[in-house]
Amino acid sequence: MIKVYNTLSRKKEIFKPREGNRVKIFVCGLTVYDNSHIGHARTYISFDVIARYLKYQGYSVFYLQNITDIDDKIINRAIETGEDPLHLARKFEEKYIQDMKSLAVENVNLYARATEHIPEIIKQIGTLLEKGFAYETDSGVYFDESRYPDFGKLSNRKIEDLNVHRINPDTNKRNPGDFALWKKKNEKPYWDSPWGPGRPGWHIEDTAITEEYFGPQYDIHGGGLDLIFPHHEAEIAQMESASGKKPMVRYWMHTGFLNVLGEKMSKSLGNFITIKDLLKECPPEVFRFFVLSTHYRSPIDFSQEILEQSRSGLKRIYKHIETIEELMESDIPETSSKDEEHEKLLRETRKNFQEAMDNDFNTPFAISSLFDFIREINRDINDSNISKNTLNDIKIFIKEIGNILGFEFVLSKSHDDVADELVDILTSIRGKLRQRKDYELSDEIRSKLNDLNIVIEDRKN
Amino acid sequence: MIKVYNTLSRKKEIFKPREGNRVKIFVCGLTVYDNSHIGHARTYISFDVIARYLKYQGYSVFYLQNITDIDDKIINRAIETGEDPLHLARKFEEKYIQDMKSLAVENVNLYARATEHIPEIIKQIGTLLEKGFAYETDSGVYFDESRYPDFGKLSNRKIEDLNVHRINPDTNKRNPGDFALWKKKNEKPYWDSPWGPGRPGWHIEDTAITEEYFGPQYDIHGGGLDLIFPHHEAEIAQMESASGKKPMVRYWMHTGFLNVLGEKMSKSLGNFITIKDLLKECPPEVFRFFVLSTHYRSPIDFSQEILEQSRSGLKRIYKHIETIEELMESDIPETSSKDEEHEKLLRETRKNFQEAMDNDFNTPFAISSLFDFIREINRDINDSNISKNTLNDIKIFIKEIGNILGFEFVLSKSHDDVADELVDILTSIRGKLRQRKDYELSDEIRSKLNDLNIVIEDRKN
């Protein structure tokens, strides 16, 4: 039984999809005007693991993401660089997809571009106008906040409180909180609409896209915490008004912030880290492990120090796998008197792992159950109290966990390791040749390794 | 401009999706009662490349496949093996997905199981009953063939001709060609319906699933040639009758048969080859190359001989990549007097490649344009008439082609190669040590290599 913390109800609820075994998840995608950063990586790794665990539990998952490829940010950036806005958007979309691939974020079924859903957007705006939830002005079409009294229910704010703080209210709008569904524009890129040429507002693409692929109601809507207000509030207002059906979404899930050294990541602070830059220094699985070592709703503080902890945590798991692999090839018995005990331990670990994941996808607890297990088993390995049968079961279990968390826990010696060991042999032979003063052969080894770009340095001592 | 051969019109038509840039493709998936075979592999590799090429040409592709996880074949197999039918189906589904992964078939966005779309199936049957296209009997709900005069339009047959040949007509049905939409059954697995407990017929799941995800009309429906009659005829009859909209699909695409040594693959002939067995002997990319060396609509004859030809064809490409890679690291000039000529050759090759692919995805012609290119370029490589700039452009071009056809044309030295070269160095040093009669060190090398499972044999000469 999976429990999910629902931002809307502010409590954990039992997870039950609307349509039997099928789960429809929508997560807000990127506005593709720049490289994606490690805050995005945190959100998308989190939802990748959520999708993986739902599949592991037998659900069929349809995970949809939009791509915001038309937006003021994109247009402004394109003006700066002199590029075509849609071309610029495609370029950063491609980089984004590449970044996700590098991070093993691979469970999104469909990426839907805003610009390719203009007819759906226009249709939904038309419905909102028809039903009186929106109005047209000289500058565009706006959603009338006052017609949707529930506005603020997700972020727990009241419309009155919201509006008090607005300065420079747009006199074009009926209420200060009204937001644009369609912006009338004559500069490219624009699209034709019943209200003249223009561009969609930011909020409407998501509900037009989810209505097209999921219908007016679905299971999970996810995104970063910073999107709750006003973006997700606006989505609810649009969709529930247009369809007349409530709730638009059963479970609202939000990932916590990722800070850098205690501060919000921002270009002006100079602590803005792109995924591409991160991966120059850090293997993708170390960053994934770092992300999953904190619960998805909690804030994460990014620092080299904590990244190092993740690196050594992950290393412990790989070390364990290596030990098992070596033992499997050695002369240990097929069965042992402790088999039953180990089976029980495995069963309990699997149970603890699943209980943690069932509890609002608590990955840090799940991971710690794996570490507890490794500690216990290592004791018996050291005492030579383990059988091949058990080792085999452990291998299967670790592979299972790898699938859920998104790690390729490789269980056989990699080619790199073999090459490393071969270099070690050559270096040791070369040392002995130098002791024998056979400089001809020792120099031959050095020069041939050099040809392979492997450099040997001789130092005193 | 892409042209697609449409089985329905029996001619090549200009490809134009219904909704701007978005392409919706549905391909009939597997009935998961056994391991998938190389005939399936042929179909799914073909549509994988079609999806890849459409994406390369800038289309957004939503590629949907059903999984038939309830069917008489599954139930009969489950009775034979004593398994639960749904469990058996899940097991073979998992193997199927694994097979596809091995073959780099990775462009299906969503797999939809029949058993998870029972409400949609019941809804569509209800519509057909309401509109008078179906009728209920004691044994089930049937589609009334006589109400759909276009039946046979895809396979170019007439209903009258079809019915003449039927023996043992089912007296339960109004017309001999009527087919079951719902089969009334009391044995498990069954689902409740307005017509009592039962199971869906085979044809209805596809149209219920495509209506759910695509709506009543979409772009491409694909599958093996053997599915045209009666399966795809039935799909058209169901969907066009239920929605009242024509055509259900813009382009019907069918892959040709794969025969083994000139004969149809069948269990009784003993020439039935599963993907799993194939991949024990044959690298997946060799089989992919074999499939793409024939046009998707033509029959393929599978034999070790032709597979060998594919292996050597693919080797020529890899050899070319290796040559380029080595040259890049050598001391050749940045530019050459022939650069312009090479640029022109690249442009023409890209054009020829695309023209072949635009022409109903003619992969054999596309591949042969690549071979022509390699032949031309090799001549200038042999005459030392090539620059680094050109080599770089060739690398980019080959990577592009690899993406379209689904090959990871790896352009840098693999770890395996490094290990091989390290072993070569060790063996050569060991030979020289033995000439010097330094048996201590030569034996040390042998024994250390032995530890890595690398065995050195000394032979006379």
Could you report the per-residue pLDDT of B103-134, keeping only the tens digit for each? 999 999 999 999 999 999 999 999 999 999 99
Collapsing DSSP to helix, strand or coil, B412 comes out as coil
Q: Could A60 and B441 be called an inter-chain contact, meaning their C-beta atoms sit closer than 8 Å?
A: no
B411 pLDDT band, cuts 50/70/90, is low
Instruction: Express each pLDDT in A113-137 by its tens digit.
Output: 999 999 999 999 999 999 999 999 9
ipTM: 0.87
Residue A103 has phi, psi (to 5 degrees) of -90, 10
- Highest mean pLDDT: which range of A386-395, A408-417, B436-445: A386-395
- Are the C-beta atoms of A46 and A296 separated by less than 8 Å? yes
Collapsing DSSP to helix, strand or coil, B342 comes out as helix
Q: Could B452 and A213 be called an inter-chain contact, meaning their C-beta atoms sit closer than 8 Å?
A: no
Whether the CA torsion A141, A142, A143, A146 is positive or negative: it is: negative
B162 pLDDT band, cuts 50/70/90, is low
Instruction: List Cα–Cα distances, A156 to A27, A149, A304, B314, in angstroms.
Output: 21, 13, 36, 62
Cα B259 from Cα B266, distance rounded (Å): 10
- What does the pLDDT read at residue A158? 79
- Are the C-beta atoms of B399 and B56 separated by less than 8 Å? no
DSSP notation for B349-380: HHHHHHHHHHBT--HHHHHHHHHHHHHHHHHH
List the single residue in B62, B419, B438 with the smallest CB-CB distance to A418.
B419
For residue B172, pLDDT over 50 is answered with yes
Choose among A206, A244, A237: nearest CA to A144: A237
Cα B249 from Cα B26, distance rounded (Å): 10
A452 pLDDT band, cuts 50/70/90, is confident
**Which of B61, B97, B422 is the mutation pick for testing A, counting most A CBs within 10 A?**
B422
User: For all residues of chain B together, what is the average pLDDT?
Assistant: 93
* Termini Cα distance of chain A: 62
DSSP secondary structure code for residue A70 in this structure: S
Q: Which parts of B176-217 are beta strand (E)? A: 179-184, 198-200
For residue B223, pLDDT over 80 is answered with yes
B416 pLDDT band, cuts 50/70/90, is low
Choose among A95, A102, A72, A94: nearest CA to A85: A72
- Considering the four listed CATH numbers 3.30.420.40, 3.90.420.10, 3.40.720.10, 3.40.50.620, the one that applies to the domain covering A3-286 is 3.40.50.620
Choose among A22, A189, A154: nearest CA to B67: A22
Choose among B242, B208, B184, B215: nearest CA to B118: B208
pTM of full prediction above 0.95: no
Q: Could A110 and B62 be called an inter-chain contact, meaning their C-beta atoms sit closer than 8 Å?
A: yes
Cα B441 from Cα B433, distance rounded (Å): 7
User: For all residues of chain A together, what is the average pLDDT?
Assistant: 93
Contacts of A22 in chain B (CB under 8 A): 116
> How many contiguous H segments (helices) and E segments (strands) does chain A have?
15, 14
Instruction: Give the other-Cβ count within 10 Å of A266's Cβ.
Output: 10
- What does the pLDDT read at residue B268? 83
List the single residue in B62, B422, B436 with the smallest CB-CB distance to A426.
B422
Q: Could B419 and A415 be called an inter-chain contact, meaning their C-beta atoms sit closer than 8 Å?
A: yes
Question: B63 vs chain A: nearest CA distance in angstroms?
Answer: 9
Q: Could B60 and A419 be called an inter-chain contact, meaning their C-beta atoms sit closer than 8 Å?
A: no
* Chain A residue set in contact with B, beta carbons under 8 Å: 19-22, 60, 62, 109-113, 116, 119, 213, 414-416, 418-419, 421-423, 425-426, 429, 432-433, 436, 438, 441, 444-445, 448-449, 452
Question: A210 vs chain B: nearest CA distance in angstroms?
Answer: 12
Whether the CA torsion B67, B71, B76, B80 is positive or negative: it is: positive
Q: Could B110 and A112 be called an inter-chain contact, meaning their C-beta atoms sit closer than 8 Å?
A: no
- What does the pLDDT read at residue B123? 98
- Are the C-beta atoms of B448 and A425 separated by less than 8 Å? yes
Q: Could A445 and B425 be called an inter-chain contact, meaning their C-beta atoms sit closer than 8 Å?
A: yes
DSSP secondary structure code for residue B230 in this structure: I
- What does the pLDDT read at residue B461? 44
**Which of A219, A418, A442 is the mutation pick for testing B, counting most B CBs within 10 A?**
A418
Instruction: Express each pLDDT in A394-422 by its tens digit.
Output: 999 999 999 999 999 865 545 456 777 88
Contacts of B448 in chain A (CB under 8 A): 425
User: What is the pLDDT averaged over residues B368-388?
Assistant: 94
Instruction: Express each pLDDT in B30-55 by its tens digit.
Output: 999 999 999 999 999 999 999 999 99
Cα B369 from Cα B372, distance rounded (Å): 5
Query: Picking from A9-13, A180-184, B16-20, B175-179, which range would have the lowest pLDDT averaged per residue?
Result: B175-179
Q: Could A436 and B438 be called an inter-chain contact, meaning their C-beta atoms sit closer than 8 Å?
A: yes
- What does the pLDDT read at residue A454? 78
Q: Collect all residues with Cβ–Cβ distance below 8 Å to A106 and sequence separation of at least 6.
A: A48, A100
Query: Picking from A156-170, A171-185, A303-317, B356-370, which range would have the lowest pLDDT averaged per residue?
Result: A156-170
State the architecture of A303-405 in CATH terms: Up-down Bundle (1.20)
Collapsing DSSP to helix, strand or coil, B457 comes out as coil
Instruction: Express each pLDDT in A214-272 by its tens digit.
Output: 999 999 999 999 999 999 999 999 999 999 999 999 999 999 999 998 899 887 888 88
